[in-house]
Amino acid sequence: MKILRQVIKQYHIPILIVLTCKILILFLIAKLSASIVPNSRALHLNVWELWNVWDAPHYISVASSGYQKIGDEANFIILLPFFPLLIYIFKFIFQTSFLISGYLVSFVSSVLLAIMLYKLVLLDYSKKTAILAVLVLFLFPTSFFLHIPYTEAVFMLVSVVAFYFARKRRYFLSFLFVSLAASTKIAGLALIPAIFAEIFFSDRQNFNKRNITIGLLISLSGFLFYLFLNYFLWGDFFYFTIIQKQHWFETFAPFGQGLITVFKSLSWRTGLEMIMLGYGQIVAFFLALILSLYVLIKVRISYGIFSIIVLWVSYSMSFWICMPRYILSIFPMFIGIALLSENILFKYSWIYLSTILLLILSLIFLQYGPVL
């Protein structure tokens, strides 16, 4: 308890930010939905069931029943194992339902993420900038994913921690967290070249064959475990790509193909679908691209490499969906936004617009989840 009190005292501002956002998003937006949205789902469901939509029940299913070979649950092999494993562990520790355990995992991860992002930014910038980075992250239009049973909070936490340990030159721990990231999202593999770039540019004497080999073996271990899981269940290391193509109609494609497809879709999409699956995907792409390039040039090369590769992995799909959610994982963007917020007009304009969009997208997600 003494350690906990010390942590709260030292990091009370980032903790306060995340807890305030969590309460406002999970509970007040649910109340608002019940009040203003016609036929709102919030009228019939408690807050935990209300946010348990889209991918969340799939992760809960894997946590409770494991990967299955029959039925619709067989398609969940595309979900990487670390997040469901954490849900299972929390279920065992706290003796609660798998659903509540999913929320607990995201709760703990989001609080730790706020603390670790704050600490990472403090390595280079002022306390004011570190606080701003945390604030703009948790006010980002799709930041509600950090509070519900989705992978975003866990993935961002282990990614930030991997960089933090790399900056502190504790490379074994850094590569260990890279492994956890790569067993949470495929985009976690982007950490490998980024961490190697960090070592190359800041600690070149340790950039040698031995450390590169060890780093690769540790970093890839989590994703290799996932590939062997595919092979054990289906006899194919890359079976998840087959399911992704057959069930979700997604394949890896040349970088610009998805963008062209989205532009073409504007000619036949209408209403909310046009806004979210058309313009929303395009705006998210160009926002992330501009901020990633800014990070590469103005913030730190290793952060920029990570940002650009995550962007490339996310957008090298034949069919674009969920991109506003996927770019949330590019945590260096929020350091860039915090630095740009030294301009007062930019800061208040960004915070105002981001908060309004967070409110709108949260309401849309609660009612029409898949359009995001």
User: Using one digit for the tens of pLDDT, what is the confidence trace for 313-336?
Assistant: 888 776 677 788 999 999 999 999
Q: Answer for the pair 105, 154: CB distance below 8 angstroms, yes or no.
A: yes
Element (H, E) at 232: helix 209-234
Confidence check: pLDDT of 55 > 80: yes
Both structure tokens of 88: 């299972």
pLDDT of the residue at 372 = 56
Whether the CA torsion 48, 54, 57, 59 is positive or negative: it is: negative
Q: Which of 200, 226, 229, 230 is nearest to 215 (CA)?
A: 200
- Greatest Cα pair distance, the chain, in angstroms, is 63
- Structural domain range at position 330: 2-371
Q: What's the CA gap between 75 and 180, in Å, rounded? A: 22
Beta-carbon count within 10 A of 319 CB: 16
pLDDT of the residue at 245 = 84
Both structure tokens of 278: 């058309």
3-state per-residue secondary structure call for 133-172: HHHHHHCCCCHHHHCCCCCHHHHHHHHHHHHHHHHCCCHH
Q: Which of 233, 244, 255, 229 is nearest to 68 (CA)?
A: 233
Q: Answer for the pair 15, 115: CB distance below 8 angstroms, yes or no.
A: yes
Confidence check: pLDDT of 371 > 70: no
Q: Answer for the pair 87, 149: CB distance below 8 angstroms, yes or no.
A: yes
For residue 252, the cross-strand partners are 317
Element (H, E) at 223: helix 209-234
Give phi and psi for 133, each to the nearest 5. Answer: -60, -45
pTM: 0.96
Confidence check: pLDDT of 252 > 90: no
Q: Answer for the pair 195, 302: CB distance below 8 angstroms, yes or no.
A: yes
* Mean pLDDT to the nearest integer, 168-185: 98
Beta-carbon count within 10 A of 149 CB: 29
pLDDT of the residue at 283 = 92
Reported as a pLDDT band with limits 50, 70 and 90, residue 370 is low
- Locus of tokens 């945390």: 134
The count of structural domains within the chain is 1
